Chains A and B, each alone.
Chain A
Amino acid sequence: MAGLAGSAVRILPAPSPCSAATYPHHVALVVELGDGESVGRCVGFNASSISGEEVLQASGLQYATQGYGSLGQAVCQVDGEPAAYSTCLPSSGSYWALFTSRAGGAWQTADVGISSLELANGDAEGLRYDPETGPDPAPPSPAGVCAAAGVAAPASGGVVSAPAGAAGTGASPALIAAAAILGVLLVLAGLQLALRRRRT
């Protein structure tokens, strides 16, 4: 169990072959169920992009969709929730809200269906079973989902995610390197100040 920034996300191992950390590209999937429990999965892929439905399919979670014309498929059921439904997106009552996070950014509500959603390396897909009453928060942060699943860093570019307060993950090597560079610059500034005072 890895606690991510105040919200519990249960990181589940994705079924083979998608769990392989050797894949060059990865997308995090966060699913917040109706009881508040969140499930995180890291999905690896080889192509330059992957559709939202392929991510859900690769995660191994049970799901069902329904077509909505040019918008694509809407998610009606995930992990058996709801147990039964007559309308995928009811005019009143709970439904599955779809979110995306691009390159570590904040969650944004998706403007297309899950089948039309294109995700690239470092993006994240979020699903939240929205009761349609009360507050409308985004799913828990996807930061650390891929790190916790054994993906140290995406192969292209050395980008590493470091979630605040992620249990067991610690500071990423990239963040440590950045802190070291900042430290060197601070020391250099101190030396410059000392030299400047000595010249006067």
Chain B
Amino acid sequence: MSTRALAAWSGAGLVIVLSTSNPVYRAVVLLCAINLLLARGRRGAGPRLLLVGIGIAALTATALTLLLSHSGQHVLARLPAAIPAIGGPLTLEALLFGVATGLGIAAAMLVVAPLTLISQPHELVDALPPVLARTGAAIGAALNLIPGTARSAAEIRDAQRMRGWRARRVADWPAVAVPVVLTAIEGSLTLAEAMESRGYGAAVRTHFGVERWTPFDTLVAVSALLAAALFLALTIAGQVPGWFPFPVATAPVVSVPAVLCCALLVVPSLRVRR
């Protein structure tokens, strides 16, 4: 699938998730994203780590809302009022609102995850319009710096340990930090030389392989943009009410056309990668 079609899909999903507080719509988008990742995502530690991170973020949001928001009529438990900030009643309404917030965070993270879990970094840079090619390359290099530095730090730490180094106090850390910084500078210079030797900036960027735009990509992009546009139009028309469980929790008000808009995001999952 084309990275541009995937970017349109992610953008549409993000627009829907961020424009509503209703957990039903968020859940539909979340399931569409899970379907897409299962149908086309890479395997390995990356996706697992991302899922763990999303789970932690969602649970943290739920716990914080439950502990800090003391509104609502159905009290589940009470913490001593003497405890600063979190002391007071823990309510069912706060718990439900926390779950909805966590669902929103998870859905927002999962709709953009395909850009890294399905596409390769060079495909993302290729997908940018020519005007943004240099910006994309700079962002790509900057993003690559973080995992590169982490790898370098782990290697240098292991090498120092083999020489008998132990991190007993802060004063010991320069033995690792200085080589890491020097390696990062050296890596940057090497990258610059490699880019220059390949003629970076001398002419219009060429591509080793040109990504094909297929009718399926058109279907994915059009359905995603249509879903986001219709959802926004329904929201502006007041047909997609949000959800707020305070002071008394009620079931979310649901609009069938809006749910169908969200469900349109399942289109790219309907063709499985061979």
Binding site for B on A (CB under 8 A): 4-7, 102-107, 120-122, 137-138, 140-141, 143, 156-164, 171-172, 174-175, 177-178, 181-182, 185-186, 188-189, 192-193, 195-196, 200
Assess whether B205 is interfacial by the CB under 8 Å rule: no
Residue contact A175 to B31, C-beta cutoff 8 Å: no
Q: Residue-by-residue, is B238-274 near A (CB-CB < 8 Å gives 1, otherwise 0)? A: 1101111011111111111101100100100100100
Q: Residue-by-residue, is B148-168 near A (CB-CB < 8 Å gives 1, otherwise 0)? A: 000000000000000000000
Apart from A158-B256, A174-B255, A178-B24, what 14 extra A-B contacts exist at CB < 8 Å? Answer: A5-B249, A7-B248, A121-B238, A140-B248, A143-B253, A157-B234, A157-B257, A158-B257, A159-B239, A161-B253, A171-B251, A175-B251, A181-B28, A192-B269
CA distance A103 to B252 in the complex (A): 11
CA distance A122 to B241 in the complex (A): 9
Identify 22 residue pairs between A and B in the complex whose beta-carbon atoms are under 8 Å apart, listed by A's number.
Answer: A5-B73, A6-B248, A7-B73, A102-B241, A103-B253, A104-B243, A106-B247, A137-B247, A138-B247, A141-B248, A143-B253, A157-B237, A158-B255, A160-B253, A163-B251, A175-B252, A181-B28, A185-B31, A186-B31, A188-B35, A192-B38, A192-B272
Give the most central of B31, B35, B256: most A CB within 10 Å: B256
Binding site for A on B (CB under 8 A): 24, 27-28, 31-32, 34-35, 38-39, 43, 73-74, 234, 237-239, 241-244, 246-257, 259-260, 263, 266, 269, 272
Whole-angstrom distance from the CB of A120 to the nearest CB of chain B? 7
Residue contact A160 to B254, C-beta cutoff 8 Å: yes
Whole-angstrom distance from the CB of B201 to the nearest CB of chain A? 41
Residue contact A177 to B259, C-beta cutoff 8 Å: yes
Query: What chain A residues lie within 8 Å of B28 (beta carbons)?
Result: 178, 181-182, 185
Minimal Cβ-Cβ distance residue in B for A172:
B254
Residue contact A182 to B31, C-beta cutoff 8 Å: yes
Query: What chain B residues lie within 8 Å of A141 (beta carbons)?
Result: 248, 250
Whole-angstrom distance from the CB of A183 to the nearest CB of chain B? 10
Query: What chain B residues lie within 8 Å of A177 (beta carbons)?
Result: 254, 256, 259
Residue contact A6 to B254, C-beta cutoff 8 Å: no
Whole-angstrom distance from the CB of A28 to the nearest CB of chain B? 12
Chain A-chain B contacts (Cβ-Cβ < 8 Å), number: 119
CA distance A7 to B39 in the complex (A): 47
Query: What chain B residues lie within 8 Å of A157 (beta carbons)?
Result: 234, 237, 239, 255, 257
Minimal Cβ-Cβ distance residue in A for B30:
A185
Contact status of A122 and B272, CB under 8 A, knowing A7-B248, A138-B247, A162-B251: no
CA distance A81 to B32 in the complex (A): 53
Whole-angstrom distance from the CB of B36 to the nearest CB of chain A? 9
CA distance A43 to B272 in the complex (A): 51
Residue contact B269 to A188, C-beta cutoff 8 Å: yes
Minimal Cβ-Cβ distance residue in A for B270:
A188
Query: What chain B residues lie within 8 Å of A174 (beta carbons)?
Result: 254-256, 259
Minimal Cβ-Cβ distance residue in B for A190:
B38
Whole-angstrom distance from the CB of A163 to the nearest CB of chain B? 5
CA distance A164 to B59 in the complex (A): 24
Minimal Cβ-Cβ distance residue in A for B242:
A105
Whole-angstrom distance from the CB of B48 to the nearest CB of chain A? 13
Query: What chain A residues lie within 8 Å of B35 (beta carbons)?
Result: 185, 188-189, 192
Q: What 7 A-B pairs come out closest when comparing CB atoms? A: A192-B38, A157-B239, A185-B31, A103-B241, A104-B241, A104-B253, A5-B248
